[in-house]
Structure 1
Amino acid sequence: MGGLLFYDWNTLPFVILVLVLSFTVHEFAHAYSAYKLGDPTAQHFGRVSLNPMVHLDLFGTIMLLLAGFGWAKPVPVNRGNFKKPRLYGIIVTAAGPISNLILAFISMFILALFHKNGWFDGLSTGSGDAIQIFLSLMLSINLTLFLFNLIPIPPLDGYRIIQDLVDLKYSEGLQKFEQWASVIFLLVVFIRPLRQVTLDPYLSLGNDIVRWFAKPIAFMLGM
């Protein structure tokens, strides 16, 4: 993920819009899946909503723009309300990253649809550029959010999934290392040499996902 230095100032409004939409859908997916699986906690707090104001954390959003690392308000979940706490917990946790993957796929599909039908040619230069920038950022940023959130380090979704997958005795042991893991993670995010040999190569898997998307999209569009 890049910070402000990686975005042109003319692109920044699109970046902010994409981040707001992506964070909102991500947190809504957590809240909605928890509600449908029997936990009304998020609903009581007004989080089963697509209203960005109930999900965005101001400081977390600023940090994402500045450093490429940020967060939204965590969705409150009471796993005691689930019939199968660990299984449903994994589903609820995974719903967030999966929603970003779906948004990325939809964005790439729409981009391909525009190109196939020559719709960009029928638009003014400004309108065509705006749509292309928005969809391209929706694709790249949501792929990054998908991969980023699956990293198995607290407080990311990947860590919560690991906690539910491993045996309970190991899950309790993991909690002892949460504080140190978070410190290590912050060092990796903010120290560029470490980031370039760890986080950046992992996030580059987004390019592989784009190639995987290309085949079903080409099939659906008859390309």
Structure 2
Amino acid sequence: MDFTGIIRQIIISAPAVLIAIVFHELAHGWVAYKLGDNTAKLSGRLTLNPISHIDPFGTIIMPFMLLILTSGQWVFGYAKPVPVNPYNFKNPRAGMALCAAGGPAANLAVAIVCTILIKWLILPLMGAIPDFIFDPIVLILKATIMINIVLAAFNLIPIPPLDGGRILMGVLPLRYSQLMERIEPFGSLIVILMIITGLTSVFVWPLVKLFFNILSLFY
């Protein structure tokens, strides 16, 4: 990818990545707040201001590196985790599971909203507004859909500390949940190995396909 192509892809992908991670983390904090934990609120994380959620490596450096290394074919990122204190919940295990589910649910909701915007607001304006305005808006919305869908699917991998692992820990019988707690310190390493070996695609892409089937209901 040439320099012009890189800049173009950054302009398209940067808003999409920010939207995805901000809504993902905000949803975690909002669900926790509704369940009685105000840790995220006191930490200033119940906000749409991306500065409050940005992780220098996960939000800026890693997406940029992936953009370069994959010639714009794969962009991914993450934000600072939202602090949650499960002991403020009436049922800590169920509360953590609901908080974890909030992130992927928010990403799917954002993808649905973007799909509706393209179908019912943007496409009807084709020809009515200049192409240099119309085309970037469509590209950014499509990138936002894809990144939110992939982020939701990836985070649902059932390995803690990913959201899927947290959800599983909340619904499994206690003895199995405790077993997963022992796995959690090695969870990030396990996920990295899954990425390197391609095992993540076995779980992620069927979910991506499922989510796009859901989006088709709104298009």
Q: TM-score range by the shorter chain?
A: 0.7 to 0.9
Q: Does the 8 Å CA contact 1:15/1:137 hold for their aligned counterparts?
A: yes
Q: Provide the rounded CA distance (Å) in 1 between the counterparts of 2:57 and 2:214.
A: 35
Q: Which amino acid aligns with 2:97?
A: I
What displacement does 1:180 show?
3.8
Map of 2:214 onto structure 1: 212
Q: Provide the rounded CA distance (Å) in 1 between the counterparts of 2:50 and 2:122.
A: 31
Matches within 5 A, 1:33-182: 33-61=31-59, 62-67=61-66, 68=75, 70-114=77-121, 117=124, 119-182=125-188
Per-residue Cα deviation, 1:112-134 (whole angstroms, up to 9, x for no partner): 114662x1221111111111101
Distance change >3 Å, CA 33–CA 113, structure 1 → 2: same
Per-residue Cα deviation, 1:61-110 (whole angstroms, up to 9, x for no partner): 22234245542111111111111222222111111110000000111111
Question: Please, which moves more after superposition, 97-106 or 121-130?
Answer: 121-130
Q: Which amino acid aligns with 1:91?
A: L
Q: Can you give the 5+ residue segments of structure 2 that lack an aligned partner in the other structure? A: 67-74
Q: TM-score when scaled to structure 1?
A: 0.84
Q: Provide the rounded CA distance (Å) in 2 between the counterparts of 1:179 and 1:126.
A: 48
Q: Does the 8 Å CA contact 2:12/2:140 hold for their aligned counterparts?
A: yes
Q: Does the 8 Å CA contact 1:14/1:133 hold for their aligned counterparts?
A: yes
Q: Which amino acid aligns with 1:104?
A: A
Q: Comparing both chains, which one has the higher relative contact order based on Cα–Cα distances under 8 Å and sequence gaps of 6 or more?
A: 2
Distance change >3 Å, CA 171–CA 203, structure 1 → 2: closer
Q: Provide the rounded CA distance (Å) in 2 between the counterparts of 1:136 and 1:69.
A: 15
Q: Can you give the 5+ residue segments of structure 1 that lack an aligned partner in the other structure? A: 219-223
Q: Provide the rounded CA distance (Å) in 1 between the counterparts of 2:13 and 2:115.
A: 16
Give me the CA root mean square deviation: 2.1
Q: Which amino acid aligns with 1:143?
A: I
Q: Does the 8 Å CA contact 1:98/1:146 hold for their aligned counterparts?
A: yes
Map of 1:203 onto structure 2: 204
Runs of 4+ in 1 over 6 A off after TM superposition: none
Q: Which amino acid aligns with 2:205?
A: S
